[in-house]
Amino acid sequence: MCRRSGLEKKRRCGWLPVDADAGSITVWARGRVSLESCPTSFITAESIALLEEFHTWKLFGASNVYDLAARLVDAIFILENELRMEGNDGQK
């Protein structure tokens, strides 16, 4: 979509070579996180799979964590923690 619209340089897509003259420009921000290049460039098939596993875990409840891969347990922990922190920010 960015390429069709000619926005890949403006949004600083991650697949473009780094332009030293461009300086530091925030192109995406949410809460306490900000990026100087488009986050879509860094989403992988594994990232999507981990998000889907997390969503399934949230819908159907936790299974025995000892039966899950360590990478999945780590992803679930991080995503759950971020979700709780975002919820807490909304209550302030």
pLDDT tens column, 8-30: 555 666 555 566 566 667 777 77
**How many angstroms from the chain centroid is the CA of residue 79?**
9
35-49 exposure pattern, b = at least 16 Cβ within 10 A, e = fewer: eebbeeeeeeeeeee
Summarize the confidence of residues 63-85 as an average pLDDT: 89
**What is residue 27's predicted lDDT score, i.e. its pLDDT?**
73
**pLDDT at residue 33 above 60?**
yes
Of 36, 68, 33, the C-alpha closest to 50 is 68
**pLDDT at residue 58 above 80?**
yes
pTM of this prediction exceeds 0.75: no
**Dihedral of the alpha carbons of 65, 68, 73, 75, in degrees to the nearest 10:** -150
**What is residue 20's predicted lDDT score, i.e. its pLDDT?**
58
